[in-house]
A and B are shown apart, each in its own frame.
Chain A
Amino acid sequence: KQEVTQIPAALSVPEGENLVLNCSFTDSAIYNLQWFRQDPGKGLTSLLLIQSSQREQTSGRLNASLDKSSGRSTLYIAASQPGDSATYLCAVILFGGATNKLIFGTGTLLAVQP
Chain B
Amino acid sequence: KAGVTQTPRYLIKTRGQQVTLSCSPISGHRSVSWYQQTPGQGLQFLFEYFSETQRNKGNFPGRFSGRQFSNSRSEMNVSTLELGDSALYLCASSIAGGSRETQYFGPGTRLLVL
- A interface vs B, CB < 8 Å? 31-32, 34, 36, 41-46, 49, 51, 89, 91, 93, 98-107
A101 to B46, CA, bound (A): 9
* Contact yes or no, B43 A104, CB < 8 A: yes
A100 to B55, CA, bound (A): 10
Specify which chain A residues have a CB less than 8 angstroms from the CB of B13 in the assembled complex: none
B97 close to A (CB within 8 Å): yes
The total of chain B residues at the interface (CB under 8 A) is 30
A103 to B48, CA, bound (A): 14
Min C-beta distance of A21 to chain B, whole Å? 16
Q: Which of B14-22, B65-73, B74-82, B105-113 contacts A (4 or more CB under 8 A)?
A: B105-113
A100 to B94, CA, bound (A): 9
A-B contact pairs, 21 of them (CB 8 A): A41-B108, A42-B107, A42-B108, A43-B6, A43-B105, A46-B102, A46-B103, A46-B104, A46-B105, A93-B99, A98-B45, A98-B48, A98-B55, A99-B97, A99-B98, A99-B99, A100-B56, A101-B56, A102-B43, A104-B44, A107-B42
